[in-house]
Amino acid sequence: MTDQLPAHRRQPLSLDTALASFDALWSPRIVTHVNDYDVRVAKVEGEHVWHVHDDTDEFFLVLDGELEIALREPAGERTVTLAKGSVFVVPRGTEHRPAARERAAILVFEPTGTLSVGDRHEEVPDHVDATTGHALQA
């Protein structure tokens, strides 16, 4: 199987290099896979869209800058702020809306095929890419 892996999985991959290879905001790139999960990176600024993943938790790691995630929980709405280097998991079934006041970079870990705008969402604005993740361009 090993020699069937794409080139980017046979060698270490610099996340800085991966992030430098694209400019689009809220448009995650798949950097590698772990079992049936994707590791995706995205550049973000402004607000994403309220959405929910019915069947999966969603892991966030802030690579650069600061990310806010608004959450609609049974007790009400709250926002968590993730500084660079922070991790947070949005539980499945929890409506959430990531946002960044200034340009930031994030890593997301979630099952392959997970849609960036979830299974249910509010109207997707033009600046948000509804995607299951894009391949990195070599």
- 53 vs 92: CA distance, rounded Å: 6
DSSP 19: H
The verdict on 95 binding Ni ion (CB under 5 A) reads no
The residue count for binding Ni ion (CB under 5 A) is 1
Q: Which is nearer to Ni ion, 3 or 55 (CB)?
A: 55
**Minimum CB distance to Ni ion, residue 24 (Å):** 17
Q: Does 58 bind Ni ion (CB under 5 A)?
A: yes
Cα–Cα nearest to 99, from 132, 133, 57, 60: 60
**Closer residue to Ni ion in complex, CB, 22/111:** 111
What is the Cα–Cα distance from 138 to 33, expressed in whole angstroms?
16
Q: Which residues contribute to the site for Ni ion (CB under 5 A)?
A: 58
